[in-house]
Structure 1
Amino acid sequence: MSQLSKEQIVESVPQKGFFGHPKGLFTLFFTEFWERFSYYGMRAILVFYMYYEVSKGGLGISEPTALAIMSIYGSLVYMSGIIGGWLADRVFGTSRAVFFGGIFIMLGHIVLAFPGNLTMFFISMALIVLGTGLLKPNISSIVGDIYATDDIRRDSGFSVFYMGINMGSFLAPLTVGTIGLDYNFHLGFGLAAIGMFVGLIIFLITKKKNLGLAGTQIANPLTPVERKRYVKIFIAAIVILGVLLFITIPRGWLTFNSFIALVGILGFVIPFSYFFFMYRSPKTTADEKSRIIAYIPLFLAAVMFWAIAEQGSTILALYADKRTDLDVFGFHISPAWFQSLNPLFIITLAPVFAWLWMKLGKKQPSIPQKFSLGIFFAGLSFIVILLPAYFGGTDTLVNPLWLVLSIFIVVLGELCLSPVGLSATTKLAPAAFSAQTMSLWFLSNAAAQALNAQLVKFYSDKTEMMYFGIIGGVAIVLSVILFAISPVIQKFMKGVH
């Protein structure tokens, strides 16, 4: 089958039909809405499920271990995207990757929906990790496929798509969180499985009419010789992994701490290996190599941002449960509900930011400048959350408005960085590595959460102010540096704005 041009793919997609955007955005919007409902519903109660006592329906894991597992799990979810991107680019295309990913995610939540032991828990985590790796980067890549490269609606379209993500993320903690914490954890996980099932049905029913050829092309298909070689490599890798586990586990070499350290190393080694591989590839043009160089500081900025933002499901979830006054005006607040604030603020503000970028047009901040604003706000959010301890100490319960304010500020940063990062990735990606570069973008989150698995062990009542202060201060300093070097980065982007 001959390769389709970008123009042919765009022409196959109805270019009007969803609030002035291509009709395919409807399919992608609601598929991702239900996938995020599924994922964030599960995540809203997962850390509580781990450290709550068995008598309360939990697994009885210690709080520090639960926080570390949560971070490692989040890292592996996004790290697996590199596999999903490779499979999409070289084996079956992004559309099929989205469908297969949704199946794995749904199965993972079904396993969690039944009472079980730690073994079943880790099996469910493995299924969700694999599924999200297939679905998450590839559905974002399809969004890029439905727009022409120079389409001025592109950034706005990603902001609309991002709003759909957060609509699902907003409803999930309120519904799955309430059912999981107030009634039964497993009922909550079951509701998450239903959400993913609905998303799969929407995708299957509407994709042919709305998406046209978007997502059907295999960007860099394997040759028959390569296919045989990679099958052999896959089998060899499985055998080697099995032997290593057989040797290291009984001898005590593979412990939870050593696994955390390994994931932490891989979180940075894998993305920079990919940068090197793409840069050295003969399929990468000179301009594309320059754009890869420009992408590296943006990637590092994203790591700093997500290292703070992703602590909403770990440190700030614990903060909500243990440090926050949850009884306000005679009304009890569920600690899971605070995880709805981030998407609520994004739903409210995403149209404002989408309108702002379109209104400013060519006068809007450059991509690197938007990234610098993103990590500035992230750092400021941690400075804000240390203030209650500064004014009132760490032995009293905190007014929930402090937590609300901190989350609001980090959302301002997220809207400057995340949808812009998705769009910038599709623009800066080498043609032969389109889906894999989107996977690389999500590896910034993997690296951040691998880093968090090391950081969360330093958090306690005694270190609370120092913990928030150091991390927030480092982010603000990095934001100033990035803003200063933005013109240099922009030159390396070779006309991408």
Structure 2
Amino acid sequence: MQALLKEEVQQPNQSRKKHPPGLYMLFATEAWERFSYYGMRAILVLYLTATAVNGGLGVDKSAAMGIYGFFTGAVYITPMIGGYLTDRFMGRRLAITIGGILMALGNFSLFASQSLTALYIGLGLLIIGNGFFKPNISTIVGDLYEGNDPRRDGAFTIFYMGINVGAFFAPLVVGLMSYKYGFLTAAIGMIVGQLVFNLLGNRYLGDIGKEPTGKPDVTAGKKSAAPLTKREQKRTTAIVILAVFVIAFWAAFEQAGSSLTLYANDQIDRNVFGFEVPTAWFQSLNPLFIVILAPIMSALWYKLGSSKRGDLKTPTKMALGLVTVGLGFLVLLPAVMYTGNDTALKVNILFMIVTYFLHTLAELMISPVGLSMVSKIAPIKLASLLMGVWLASSAVANMVAGQLAAYTQSLGYLEIFSVIGFVTIGLGIVLLFLSKPVAKLMK
């Protein structure tokens, strides 16, 4: 039976057109997990800053954005630890299940009690659970394809659509609820994702992800315990270099849940044809644009990869992404120059829509491409660990993002948005010049 399952998983890899069915099962799992995460994230800062009468905790805005930055940073650093434990001691699929259960419990804690104690317990469970879940589901996507398969970047872009289908609907649903039941809805979404993964895993993944990949193989003379080759060392170096640049991207991009959310809440005219758009709904703009643009970008990467000229180098794509995210902040500068921090002044909603559009375009040039790169060039015995390292760059970025967001309350939006915009554009230009030597390390 296992041989038949293995054949079912591997057979689609022989096709250069169709993606294996396991990709779409992982797509659904990730969609529900992201529904849970982004539903919680969309209301977290609003919940922290709302008064107790309005169902919140009444935390100071600067402190709230510090908590938000620490949380979003920690959920990206624990995947490095979770990736190491998975590589050495457990299968990726078991790690995904453990992570999902812990995250469901974390959201349930936020629902069960509106207190700082419940908040810290809930956020702690979410941080630990994400450490097991995040690096492993992305690595399993890569395991469905051979290293030179031109469908790989397209597959990660499709997988990225799964992330954003869940992220699109979550703020729309949760934004209409009280904070308490918003957290409960996030817990339910996580449970549904785990049911999809565990009920369909054997059918569509076969034996993929069942065993640790980094533990010594006695039958092979402990070959997996051998030191990295020079080629593997160069590839690992390339991953680390690009991860450093990606810190700047995520520090800019992750203003969405903090400073951009508060700016939208206070100074964007949210009245559309007599209906006041809930602030949490702005969190749905990015995933909406992802779902629209991802098929176009996936087709573009595939067409370039299959052409004689060849695809753009991964560092080049990421450099363009850094420039584009910076332009998103420059678009906001005229609005911020007009409003300052005066909540009595409002600007047109289109400013925020255009900013999110540019940030989404930038994200598609960096995030799915980066996931694909790590799964393709990372040494197999360090695959989950290096995926964790890649995600750890987002950890540093989110902590930086939290501090930058907090400074908007003291220095002002204009100063911080200007710095973010010009710095990311500058780093994008630097990476563009470094594209060739970094690409050489990746070969």
TM-score range, shorter chain: over 0.9
Aligned length: 427
The reply to whether residue 47 of structure 1 matches residue 49 of structure 2 is: no
* Contact 1:81 1:439 (C-alpha < 8 Å) held by counterparts: yes
* Contact 2:87 2:384 (C-alpha < 8 Å) held by counterparts: yes
| Structure 1 residue 464 displacement after superposition | 1.7
What letter corresponds to residue 414 of structure 1 in structure 2? Answer: E
Corresponding position of 1:293: 237
| Structure 1 residue 452 displacement after superposition | 1.9
For residues 401 and 446 of structure 1, the distance between their equivalents in structure 2, rounded to whole angstroms, comes to 30
| Structure 1 residue 11 displacement after superposition | 7.4
| Structure 1 residue 461 displacement after superposition | 7.6
Closer/same/farther in 2, CA of residues 286 and 462 from structure 1, 3 Å limit: closer
Corresponding position of 1:250: none
Corresponding position of 1:15: 12
For residues 44 and 321 of structure 1, the distance between their equivalents in structure 2, rounded to whole angstroms, comes to 12
Partner of residue 393 from structure 2, selected from 422, 444, 449 = 444
* Contact 1:87 1:93 (C-alpha < 8 Å) held by counterparts: no
Question: Which has the larger displacement, 449-458 or 398-407?
Answer: 449-458
Q: What per-residue deviation string (whole Å, max 9, x for no partner) do you get for residues 152-175 of structure 1? A: 111111110000110000000000
Corresponding position of 2:322: 375
Corresponding position of 1:198: 192
Corresponding position of 1:174: 172
Closer/same/farther in 2, CA of residues 392 and 105 from structure 1, 3 Å limit: closer
The secondary structure found in structure 1 opposite 2:426 is helix
For residues 9 and 354 of structure 1, the distance between their equivalents in structure 2, rounded to whole angstroms, comes to 27
Corresponding position of 2:222: none
Q: What per-residue deviation string (whole Å, max 9, x for no partner) do you get for residues 119-177 of structure 1? A: 11100111111111110111000001111111111111111000011000000000012
Corresponding position of 1:364: 311
Q: What per-residue deviation string (whole Å, max 9, x for no partner) do you get for residues 196-249 of structure 1? A: 11111111111001001211121122799xxxxxxxxxxxxxxxxxxxxxxxxx
For residues 357 and 419 of structure 1, the distance between their equivalents in structure 2, rounded to whole angstroms, comes to 11
* Contact 2:375 2:387 (C-alpha < 8 Å) held by counterparts: yes
| Structure 1 residue 379 displacement after superposition | 0.8
| Structure 1 residue 338 displacement after superposition | 0.2
Q: What per-residue deviation string (whole Å, max 9, x for no partner) do you get for residues 277-336 of structure 1? A: xxxx95211101111222232111211110011110011011111111122221110000
Aligned 1:424-463 pairs, distance under 5 A = 424-460=373-409, 463=412
What letter corresponds to residue 371 of structure 1 in structure 2? Answer: M
Q: What per-residue deviation string (whole Å, max 9, x for no partner) do you get for residues 72-116 of structure 1? A: 000011111112101210111111100110000111111111133
* Contact 1:9 1:146 (C-alpha < 8 Å) held by counterparts: no
What letter corresponds to residue 103 of structure 1 in structure 2? Answer: I
For residues 47 and 340 of structure 2, the distance between their equivalents in structure 1, rounded to whole angstroms, comes to 29
For residues 308 and 10 of structure 1, the distance between their equivalents in structure 2, rounded to whole angstroms, comes to 44
Corresponding position of 1:406: 355
For residues 190 and 263 of structure 2, the distance between their equivalents in structure 1, rounded to whole angstroms, comes to 29
| Structure 1 residue 12 displacement after superposition | 4.4
What letter corresponds to residue 215 of structure 1 in structure 2? Answer: G
The secondary structure found in structure 1 opposite 2:91 is helix
* Contact 1:147 1:154 (C-alpha < 8 Å) held by counterparts: yes
* Contact 1:89 1:433 (C-alpha < 8 Å) held by counterparts: yes
| Structure 1 residue 393 displacement after superposition | 4.8
What letter corresponds to residue 336 of structure 2 in structure 1? Answer: A
How large is the Cα RMSD of the aligned pairs?
2.0
The secondary structure found in structure 2 opposite 1:20 is coil
Partner of residue 470 from structure 1, selected from 411, 416, 419 = 419
Corresponding position of 1:277: none
Query: What TM-score does the superposition give when structure 1 sets the normalisation length?
Result: 0.83
The secondary structure found in structure 1 opposite 2:438 is helix
Q: What per-residue deviation string (whole Å, max 9, x for no partner) do you get for residues 392-419 of structure 1? A: 6543112111011111001111011110
Query: What TM-score does the superposition give when structure 2 sets the normalisation length?
Result: 0.92
* Contact 1:13 1:210 (C-alpha < 8 Å) held by counterparts: no
Closer/same/farther in 2, CA of residues 177 and 111 from structure 1, 3 Å limit: same
For residues 105 and 334 of structure 2, the distance between their equivalents in structure 1, rounded to whole angstroms, comes to 43
For residues 179 and 413 of structure 2, the distance between their equivalents in structure 1, rounded to whole angstroms, comes to 29
How high is the sequence identity, in percent, across the aligned residues?
41
For residues 322 and 291 of structure 2, the distance between their equivalents in structure 1, rounded to whole angstroms, comes to 20
What letter corresponds to residue 418 of structure 1 in structure 2? Answer: S
Corresponding position of 1:284: 228
* Contact 2:9 2:20 (C-alpha < 8 Å) held by counterparts: no
* Structure 1: gaps (5+ residues): 1-7, 225-280
For residues 30 and 340 of structure 2, the distance between their equivalents in structure 1, rounded to whole angstroms, comes to 42
* Contact 1:166 1:347 (C-alpha < 8 Å) held by counterparts: yes
Corresponding position of 1:251: none
The secondary structure found in structure 2 opposite 1:194 is helix
Closer/same/farther in 2, CA of residues 438 and 11 from structure 1, 3 Å limit: farther
* Contact 2:114 2:180 (C-alpha < 8 Å) held by counterparts: no
Corresponding position of 1:209: 203
For residues 39 and 324 of structure 2, the distance between their equivalents in structure 1, rounded to whole angstroms, comes to 26
Partner of residue 346 from structure 1, selected from 279, 287, 290 = 290
* Structure 2: gaps (5+ residues): 219-224
What letter corresponds to residue 122 of structure 1 in structure 2? Answer: Y
For residues 118 and 14 of structure 1, the distance between their equivalents in structure 2, rounded to whole angstroms, comes to 51
Question: Which has the larger displacement, 319-328 or 45-54?
Answer: 319-328
